[in-house]
Structure 1
């Protein structure tokens, strides 16, 4: 099967800052609720909402209760309506892989760890999952035809303006932290491109050399001008993939490290037409611990950072530098979730220690971290500095969501929490392997909500479409936001973004005319959930569409062929059960390459 065929199936707010957001007169009144509903079957180390009713979940290979094809499962599809999990059957170990959607809506998972069950290495793996409605879809892998250029453990990924994906960084083998000996300081495209003299192959990145050691899972975000924001360790840059140019940005303030194992959460704040979609990045949490010391000298009780750093990514904003705020409590491994009402929910993580497990001198159970952050925090980016954070009215969870936990906004507007497993394998010890699912429901879910029909299957850039709307009594104005719910893992939320669309409401308040995003830089072509939001911040259900034409991203068969000729290809783990210690030390001793 050719790749083309596979894809076809597949301080006070300054005027500059405040103008970025359309200020609401109020947010929906009411109380937050928390409900525990269902189990995932596999621990949700990685999570992505793939349809209006289903969530894709990947785990590392371990002794999960869910089975498939006669062996333990490490993938599942969770139904948001029935709260049931259906096993999936990836062929390679998805442990610490990245994830993104292509422009045609197909999800890709890239990288991983040497596999335990099926005998296929996950380090060079590239997995495809095309969402379906009949409950029969599964993960597709064919490493002899579709694979990465090299081993990648802890890479990041980002969808770009043509609907393809850039896979960034990582290590060539499993380890607690990156180092010069295992660093993979490069990036590559999927589908592969013939660009910069590298025909389908990986392209070197000096940034991923300069940011050693703590640069696993770099923070990556596509910007409206076509550049890509990238941050790792204590550094940040703007990257132009068309010219292969890295432009340094001011470093993260106060010595805070922000990428794994010093994991902070990050998000591109909502993009709106009121200020011509000016981008602004927010990074919260992390650690000031050293990235060069032996981890056995670190304590699970070491303080983490409460710092939130925020910068407008324009010439003037960069010159002004980072603006620093403090969360109510420090966190490592938090997840930042964009809500339809324009606010950010900070969930999950721990208040002391560091990411991973079995490394520090005083682990709690196996965990390198302690003191779970049970209570979420709301951040209002349009409020004056000093009054942006609140946990008022938000109930605390009783389930620790530590290392290997995930979170995502759902189409209904609730926030799903899952996972947590700072352990080598399934365990019921302190900070146990967690399968229980929780849903936080913001106050807006208790209010009368708008509804709509007529969303087309695809929404092209700058195109106009009409929605038939039904609005609650007293609602006179609404807005429309397109949200990419993204891919959650290790406190990183790849591709998560919110773009407000230009819209107008008819005089009878029954028809809403909406215009698609201005370009593929503002919203890279791919899946979006469209929320109609009242002036008091109450959203409709988020129905799914594809931004763009829905076509596959560009496919260069010559680049694919050169990749397959030039790279080693998949490996077979003859031992079948490598011993792992301290998050992925690969001690398998017998590997042989398969033929291409």
Structure 2
């Protein structure tokens, strides 16, 4: 679990609405044919499988894998090696299990991880075996000297398959993990305001079943400062400052577990500050009960095709469910990749609007031969249709931006659009870069901002 915690210039993604009124349609005609997007192979191999990914503020991506799968295909520089007497596979390892990928130059370099993992400064917490109480930090730099630093035995509890969420005061809350029915904070004792302890959360005990299905709980920070936590099929609203559950929501109406190892996904839908705040969570995927045990016996059950939406800000919230074919007409199917992406793969939104995709390793170790789905070490990027040349008349260019902001501060983004549009047809969003792993995006948030037109040009701020 990793979080980018330093105050930095937020990543701005500008989207122009394509559902325009007739007055706008007369100025620009959208493509009359179906665009599916394009795939580009960035790197045939980065030497490791991209199990975890995090975008950081200098336009680079930190990628890492677990360290107990044996050697990777990327050597550590300068003859460096990792010595770990407690490693269950390879006690002396001279290969890298983490890389720093430069988006602009499409290059990468190895980083050194000492223990198995599972924030600006990148903060990564917990893991497996001798890594389960460890905190690791990586401070971005402009040269090639920055690397991971580890603080062993820092955490109060072992955190394997836990979820991290950055809080408004800059702390990080660590929720759950394997056989951990509690949460704690990093750093400890911030100005003496929080004790160096973990806090019991029986909700996590109650949502554990024989296959667990409450690991990597879905955690979203809501505008009111409370935490929405979803595990298995249930969800709550937690006041973490008082350690009080202030609300329990109805269980999702289709009884398919949604959390790891059933491995569904969740998203907090965009918050639009141009209207009264509405907070809605969508949960998709997962698997029928018993699917994990059956998979061990090579009986593979189809994943759940249902999604549920819950308006948590409503007075009487209830789940709205869509199943399989009922999504027809509600979404589009983009162009598929030619590379299978299975277990231990990840995907990440980049600053230019593309999607970075990497990893895939359903094998116990790195295995490239004699199996149906070998380990994949490649990186590729998906370019969505709205970035294609056909949409160039309404693709914005950022002209100026405030480089550093703090919580609650107003900031300016100046941009131009080739085709003149009215402010009511402009949508500007600010995205918090997520840490992605196991079909999960931690610390995810997207806000639609207010826009003011600079008359009479096509410049906006």
In which range does the TM-score fall when normalised by the shorter chain? 0.7 to 0.9
1:271 corresponds to: 271
1:58 corresponds to: 64
* One of 107, 123, 135 as aligned partner of 1:108: 123
CA distance in 1, matches of 2:407, 2:191: 26
Q: CA deviation at 1:389?
A: 2.2
Q: CA deviation at 1:57?
A: 0.4
* One of 118, 143, 153 as aligned partner of 1:134: 143
2:319 corresponds to: 322
SS in 2 for 1:464: coil
* One of 118, 122, 131 as aligned partner of 1:122: 131
Indicate how the Cα distance of structure 1 residues 251 and 462 shifts in structure 2: closer, same or farther if over 3 A, else same: same
What TM-score results when the alignment is normalised by the length of structure 2? 0.82
- 2:130 is the alignment partner of 1:83: no
Instruction: Output one character per residue of 1:96-116: Cα deviation in whole Å (capped at 9) or x when no partner.
Output: 2xxxx3xxx3211111112xx
Q: CA deviation at 1:463?
A: 3.4
1:512 corresponds to: 460
Instruction: Output one character per residue of 1:354-380: Cα deviation in whole Å (capped at 9) or x when no partner.
Output: xxxxxxxxxxxxxxxxxxxxxxxxxxx
Residues 396, 418 of structure 2: 8 Å contact kept: yes
Residues 216, 259 of structure 2: 8 Å contact kept: yes
SS in 1 for 2:401: coil
1:207 corresponds to: 203
- 2:376 is the alignment partner of 1:434: yes
Residues 33, 442 of structure 1: 8 Å contact kept: yes
1:47 corresponds to: 53
CA distance in 1, matches of 2:445, 2:215: 21
Residues 49, 65 of structure 2: 8 Å contact kept: yes
CA distance in 1, matches of 2:430, 2:188: 28
Residues 466, 511 of structure 1: 8 Å contact kept: no
- 2:415 is the alignment partner of 1:473: no
- 2:340 is the alignment partner of 1:400: yes
CA distance in 2, matches of 1:184, 1:417: 31
Q: CA deviation at 1:202?
A: 1.1
Indicate how the Cα distance of structure 1 residues 479 and 501 shifts in structure 2: closer, same or farther if over 3 A, else same: same
* One of 345, 357, 371 as aligned partner of 1:417: 357
Give the CA RMSD over aligned residues: 2.8
CA distance in 1, matches of 2:6, 2:54: 21
SS in 2 for 1:274: coil
Q: CA deviation at 1:198?
A: 7.0
CA distance in 2, matches of 1:389, 1:51: 31
- 2:410 is the alignment partner of 1:485: no
Residues 466, 512 of structure 1: 8 Å contact kept: no
CA distance in 2, matches of 1:491, 1:469: 33
2:167 corresponds to: 160
Indicate how the Cα distance of structure 1 residues 304 and 487 shifts in structure 2: closer, same or farther if over 3 A, else same: same
Residues 46, 379 of structure 2: 8 Å contact kept: yes
Q: CA deviation at 1:157?
A: 0.8
Residues 41, 85 of structure 1: 8 Å contact kept: no
Q: CA deviation at 1:465?
A: 3.5
SS in 1 for 2:54: strand
Indicate how the Cα distance of structure 1 residues 297 and 33 shifts in structure 2: closer, same or farther if over 3 A, else same: closer
Indicate how the Cα distance of structure 1 residues 300 and 163 shifts in structure 2: closer, same or farther if over 3 A, else same: farther
Q: CA deviation at 1:76?
A: 0.5
Q: CA deviation at 1:300?
A: 4.2
Residues 419, 458 of structure 2: 8 Å contact kept: no
Indicate how the Cα distance of structure 1 residues 300 and 417 shifts in structure 2: closer, same or farther if over 3 A, else same: farther
Residues 281, 312 of structure 2: 8 Å contact kept: yes
Any gaps of 5 or more consecutive residues in structure 2?
9-15, 21-28, 82-93
Instruction: Output one character per residue of 1:111-165: Cα deviation in whole Å (capped at 9) or x when no partner.
Output: 1112xxxxxx211111111222223221111326xx2112111111111111211
Residues 7, 404 of structure 2: 8 Å contact kept: no
1:37 corresponds to: 42
Indicate how the Cα distance of structure 1 residues 137 and 289 shifts in structure 2: closer, same or farther if over 3 A, else same: same
Instruction: Output one character per residue of 1:198-236: Cα deviation in whole Å (capped at 9) or x when no partner.
Output: 721111111111011221111110001111111111211
1:550 corresponds to: none
Instruction: Output one character per residue of 1:151-187: Cα deviation in whole Å (capped at 9) or x when no partner.
Output: 111111111111211001112xxxxxxxxxxx11110
Aligned residues: 410
CA distance in 2, matches of 1:81, 1:195: 39
1:494 corresponds to: 442
Q: Which 10-residue stretch deviates more, 265-274 or 470-479?
A: 470-479
Q: CA deviation at 1:24?
A: 5.1
SS in 1 for 2:63: strand
1:25 corresponds to: 19
1:287 corresponds to: 287
CA distance in 2, matches of 1:239, 1:469: 39
2:243 corresponds to: 244
Indicate how the Cα distance of structure 1 residues 31 and 472 shifts in structure 2: closer, same or farther if over 3 A, else same: farther
Indicate how the Cα distance of structure 1 residues 249 and 196 shifts in structure 2: closer, same or farther if over 3 A, else same: farther
CA distance in 1, matches of 2:124, 2:149: 10
